[in-house]
Chains A and B, each alone.
Chain A
Amino acid sequence: DADVTQTPRNRITKTGKRIMLECSQTKGHDRMYWYRQDPGLGLRLIYYSFDVKDINKGEISDGYSVSRQAQAKFSLSLESAIPNQTALYFCATSDWGTKGIQYFGAGTRLSVL
């Protein structure tokens, strides 16, 4: 969905490096989410934010941090990347009025060597 833009689309990094994945949205939604997708495991929630001052841990937050710089921007950081963080990462947004319907970006494919 072009309304939710993730950068970069692909990234290869080395173990121990710090990396940031960025997400921006033009949908005007207040809620934003970061998920990772692994083969056979589906999507798992890392962090979510319901507004600029609100940050919440999801199922698998260890090793990750986030920053909600503005209503439209939500970034995910790996402070010291490790190989098992190799995955497909998705950002999503939703509006409080429509509760669960989330709009996803195209994903960032991250490889940690």
Chain B
Amino acid sequence: GESVGLHLPTLSVQEGDNSIINCAYSNSASDYFIWYKQESGKGPQFIIDIRSNMDKRQGQRVTVLLNKTVKHLSLQIAATQPGDSAVYFCAENIGNQFYFGTGTSLTVIP
């Protein structure tokens, strides 16, 4: 299967600080990437996506950066809030399938 990994399984940040969650992928054929957020007891929820012809995309308080040279993408959350506490997954698209990373658990400290 495809390898989509995350550098850290857990991340703790102080409320108000910025969070950066990293993801490495292995297949250079991947042309589309998505970040999902999964809160406890719920299914994953779409946050932001980026296509391989872009290197940056911004949403509300979130930014995704894509570095195709080193096959790395990151999710930046500005002014992290308690409601941001969740597990974050990156997913890469190859053909008709998506391959998900193992997730990073973000804990926001009040």
Q: How far is B36's CA from A90's CA once the two chains are assembled, in angstroms?
A: 14
Q: How far is B94's CA from A58's CA once the two chains are assembled, in angstroms?
A: 12
Q: How far is B44's CA from A35's CA once the two chains are assembled, in angstroms?
A: 11
Interface pair A100/B101, CB less than 8 Å apart: no
Interface pair A59/B1, CB less than 8 Å apart: yes
B97 CB–A CB distance under 8 Å:
yes
> In the complex, what's the smallest C-beta–C-beta distance from A99 to chain B, in angstroms?
7
Which of B43, B97, B103 is packed against the most chain A CB atoms within 10 Å? B43
Interface pair A92/B96, CB less than 8 Å apart: no
Interface pair A42/B103, CB less than 8 Å apart: yes
Which of B34, B46, B96, B98 is packed against the most chain A CB atoms within 10 Å? B98
User: Per-residue CB proximity of B28-52 to A under 8 Å, as 1/0?
Assistant: 0000101000000111111001000
Q: How far is B49's CA from A50's CA once the two chains are assembled, in angstroms?
A: 21
A50 contacts across to B, CB distance below 8 A: 96
User: Per-residue CB proximity of A32-75 to B under 8 Å, as 1/0?
Assistant: 00010000111111001010000010110000000000000000
Q: How far is B46's CA from A55's CA once the two chains are assembled, in angstroms?
A: 24
Return the contact of B43 from the options A41, A59, A90 (Cβ within 8 A). A90
A-B contact count (CB 8 A): 58
B25 CB–A CB distance under 8 Å:
no
Interface pair B101/A102, CB less than 8 Å apart: no
Return the contact of B102 from the options A35, A42, A90, A105 (Cβ within 8 A). A42
Residue of B whose beta carbon sits closest to that of A59: B1
Q: Name B residues whose Cβ lies closer than 8 Å to a Cβ of A.
A: 1, 4, 32, 34, 41-46, 49, 89, 91, 93, 96-103
Task: Rank and list the top 5 A-B pairs by shortest CB-CB distance, nearest first.
Answer: A104-B43, A43-B100, A42-B102, A42-B100, A101-B46
